[in-house]
Structure 1
Amino acid sequence: MLVYLRLLKESFGFAMNALRSNKLRTFLSLLGVTIGIFSIIAVLAAVDSLDKKISKDLSSMDKNTIYLLKFPFGPSDIPQWKREQFPNVKYSEYIYLKDAMTHTDELGYRIFTRNESIKYGANIVSDVQIMPVSHEFIDIEGLTFEEGRFYNESEANSGAPVIVLGDEIAKSLFEDTEPIGKNIRLYGQRFTVIGVLKKEGSTFGGSNDSAAFIPVNFIRKMYGDNNPNLTNVIIFKPEKGVDMEEYKSEISQKLRNFRGVKAGEIDNFFINVFAGFLNIIDEVLGSLRIGGIFISFFSFLVGGFGVANIMFVSVKERTNLIGIQKSLGAKNRFILFQFLFEAIILCVIGGLIGLFMVWIISIVLTNVLDFEFVLSFWNIIIGSGLSILVGIISGIIPAITASNLDPVEAIRTGM
């Protein structure tokens, strides 16, 4: 054991000597390993950070939440031209399903519409996400309030001109003024502010901080139910423990009956489960991870060739020393391990530099952007492991070459 520890120490000394005596050559060779490790770990860290961010943002959402609308969340076997002929979900269907569905905790209605500007006095906030929703939305999405309240069922059904603002919108419009009870202008009409949501920060798919909630029936009175520029959705929150397939079948059967869809005809609507949307996100993140690693592999390949080049040159320069060592009794495996350890140490140095660069950039991005860029312990282990692997692969052939040298010929070559 002591012999191999001494061997490791000597190999480290040779590696440091190679770095000192051939700075430019070693730097250029290790640059490939550094860039390769940096690229792969940066990709893994970025994807892991994005995955963590999405999971955190969507943690409050029930994975069994169902969205009923005319579009699918993911790929569909139904051709696009046929999907475009599907009718929009209607408010009357929401009312019908609300009474007809069983095993349902909450059932709400939402209209997707374009962003608008909101004005209060001389202050104007542009590009505000307007969210016309039914009163159940507060329980479906789990909204929390800084002050005020959400509109009730009576206000929602009558389409009352009341509005609930996200944190950023309220601060931009009112600054230090109390917003509750104030009138703002939207769609050319006055709305009374009845609530302000707690700040939640940026989230995947948008943030409620930059949104404004109004009763869905206000928009229905303005645009009607058949406006092609609006997309309507019915949101189901089933009871816990319910069989999701049976629940989806119940939705399909009752809506088909309500719409008069004949037996044998396909559904002219899509039942999208939120869990399926998460699976699509996981697939996309997985593809990004694999694609990034594949591209980074070529940098790694170049780095491996560079280290192999250093080791071949090192073998050539130390041929005389190898012959002397073998003539004094050094076994082949001692010589092999000596050069193999040297290659590994060189690659580990390059890998550590790459990991350090990722760590520095992660700190900078976390402070500059509203996004937590995390370099996890497992990514550090992966980076270190890949460095060692490249060292073994790039150093094994030069090490074998050195260990198989004939001592007499080696000494003669060096004279």
Structure 2
Amino acid sequence: MLLYLRLLKESLSFAINALRNNKLRTLLSLLGVTIGIFSIIAVLAAVDSLDKKISKDLSSLDKNTIYLMKFSFGPSEIPQWKREQFPNVKYDEYVNLKNSLNNTDQVGYQLWVNKETLKYDSKTVADVRINPSSFEMGDIDGLSFEKGRFYNESESNSGTAVIVLGYEIAQGLFGDIDPIGKNIRLYGQRFTVIGVIAKQGAGFFGDSNDTSVYLPANFLRRMYGDSDAMTPMIILKPTKGVDMEAYKAEVSQKLRAIRGMKAGEMDNFFINVLSGFTDFIDGILGQMNVVGWIISGFSLLVGGFGIANIMFVSVKERTNLIGIQKSLGAKNRFILFQFLFEAIILSVIGGIIGLLMVWGIAVILTKALDFEFVLSFGNIILGTTLAALIGLISGILPAISAANLDPVEAIRTGM
């Protein structure tokens, strides 16, 4: 055992000395592996970061949450012209489902509307995402509050002119002033601020609750009626442990009955389950992983050929030395390990440089974009292992050719 450890140590020493004595050649050999490892780990780190961000953004939501509306979250087999004829869900349908559905924790109602500008005295904030909704949305969206509260059932049903501000909106309008009880202007009307949502940070889909506000949906319905400019949806949060297929069938049956649809008639609404949407996103991230591996694989292939080429050159340059070592009693495995270690060390150094590049870019992007770019320990191990594997594969043939040299011929060739 001690003999093998000594053999490994001496082989490692020979490999490091060979690398030190040929700096330019080492640098050129590193480039292919560095770019390959950088490409693979950068893609994997980006996908991991996106996945972590999505999970964080959706952590407050139950993945079984259902969004009932005329649009589909994902691809649909129904032709677009047919989907455009679907009617919007109605407030009365929300009330009916709320009173008749079984195994339901919460039923909410929300409108999709255009972004607006908010004003307070001389200050304005533009491009604010407006969430006109029923009072249940505070619990469904899992909102937590910096100050104040969400509007209650009475305020929601009557369409009281109250508003809940996102953190950045409150900062933009009020700064250090306490916004609770203050009046702001929106839609040409005055709203009383009753709450400020706790800071959330940038969301994966662009917006977050920091740059949005909530107000009773019935306020807008009272002003504009059920206008086509507003897209309504009903949000259903089933109780935990419910059979989702049976629950979706019940939702479909109830809404079809409300709309008086006949048997065999196609549903004119979509039951969008949040888990289906997250599975769709996971599929996209998986495809990104595959594409990243394919592109990076070519870089690693080029890097592997580069290392193999340099190692063959190294064997040729040191043929005389190999002959002398063998004549002094060096075993074939000693020569084999000597060159194999050189190839592996060369590749691992290239991989480490690639990992350091990913880490540096991750730090820069995290600070510049307010987005946490994660380089996990698992990806570091994967990058290092891949680099060592490339070195092993690329160096095995040159190492075998060196180990099999005849000592007399090797010395004669060197002379």
Is TM > 0.5 for Structure 1 vs Structure 2? Answer: yes
* Contact 1:165/1:213, CA 8 A, preserved across alignment: yes
Mapped to 2, the partners of 1:332 and 1:133 lie a distance apart of 78
Identity of aligned residues (%): 71
- Tell me the equivalent position of 1:311: 311
Shift of 1:105: 1.1
Aligned amino acid, residue 219 of structure 1: L
Tell me the matched-pair count.
414
* Contact 1:352/1:384, CA 8 A, preserved across alignment: yes
Mapped to 2, the partners of 1:292 and 1:34 lie a distance apart of 15
1:187-202 correspondence to structure 2 within 5 Å? 187-202=187-202
Aligned amino acid, residue 104 of structure 1: T
- Tell me the equivalent position of 2:21: 21
Unpaired stretches in structure 1, ≥5 consecutive residues: none
Shift of 1:72: 1.4
Mapped to 2, the partners of 1:56 and 1:189 lie a distance apart of 35
Mapped to 1, the partners of 2:158 and 2:318 lie a distance apart of 90
Could you report, residue by residue, the CA deviation over 1:76-106 in whole angstroms, capped at 9, with x for unpaired residues?
2212222122111111111111111111111
Mapped to 1, the partners of 2:161 and 2:135 lie a distance apart of 14
Could you report, residue by residue, the CA deviation over 1:148-170 in whole angstroms, capped at 9, with x for unpaired residues?
22112222122221111111101
- Tell me the equivalent position of 2:225: 224
Shift of 1:49: 1.7
* Contact 1:135/1:151, CA 8 A, preserved across alignment: yes
- Tell me the equivalent position of 1:69: 69
Query: Match of 2:226, SS?
Result: coil
Could you report, residue by residue, the CA deviation over 1:232-283 in whole angstroms, capped at 9, with x for unpaired residues?
1100011122111111101000111111222112111111111111111211
Shift of 1:230: 2.3
- Tell me the equivalent position of 1:33: 33
- Tell me the equivalent position of 1:240: 240
Aligned amino acid, residue 212 of structure 2: A
CA RMSD of aligned residues (A): 1.6
* Contact 1:18/1:26, CA 8 A, preserved across alignment: no
Could you report, residue by residue, the CA deviation over 1:285-333 in whole angstroms, capped at 9, with x for unpaired residues?
1111221122112221221111111100110011112222233333333
Change (3 A) 1:161 1:223: same
The two structures have a TM-score, normalised by structure 2, of 0.95
Larger mean Cα displacement after TM superposition, 53-62 or 324-333: 324-333
Larger mean Cα displacement after TM superposition, 258-267 or 102-111: 258-267
- Tell me the equivalent position of 2:209: 208
- Tell me the equivalent position of 1:405: 405
Unpaired stretches in structure 2, ≥5 consecutive residues: none
- Tell me the equivalent position of 1:123: 123
The alignment status of 1:11 with 2:21, answered yes or no, reads no
Aligned amino acid, residue 221 of structure 1: R
Mapped to 2, the partners of 1:355 and 1:7 lie a distance apart of 30
- Tell me the equivalent position of 1:370: 370
* Contact 1:135/1:152, CA 8 A, preserved across alignment: yes
Could you report, residue by residue, the CA deviation over 1:121-167 in whole angstroms, capped at 9, with x for unpaired residues?
11000000000000111111121222222112222122221111111
Mapped to 1, the partners of 2:199 and 2:220 lie a distance apart of 26
Query: Match of 1:405, SS?
Result: coil
- Tell me the equivalent position of 1:60: 60
Query: Match of 1:237, SS?
Result: strand
Aligned amino acid, residue 161 of structure 2: P
* Contact 1:64/1:237, CA 8 A, preserved across alignment: yes
Shift of 1:27: 0.5
The two structures have a TM-score, normalised by structure 1, of 0.95
1:286-325 correspondence to structure 2 within 5 Å? 286-325=286-325
Could you report, residue by residue, the CA deviation over 1:207-245 in whole angstroms, capped at 9, with x for unpaired residues?
111111111012223332241x32211000111221111
- Tell me the equivalent position of 1:101: 101
Larger mean Cα displacement after TM superposition, 337-346 or 12-21: 12-21
Larger mean Cα displacement after TM superposition, 300-309 or 387-396: 300-309
Aligned amino acid, residue 122 of structure 2: A
Change (3 A) 1:131 1:217: same
* Contact 2:180/2:193, CA 8 A, preserved across alignment: yes
* Contact 1:324/1:407, CA 8 A, preserved across alignment: yes
Mapped to 2, the partners of 1:314 and 1:2 lie a distance apart of 29
Mapped to 1, the partners of 2:342 and 2:145 lie a distance apart of 61
* Contact 1:88/1:226, CA 8 A, preserved across alignment: no
Mapped to 2, the partners of 1:7 and 1:72 lie a distance apart of 65
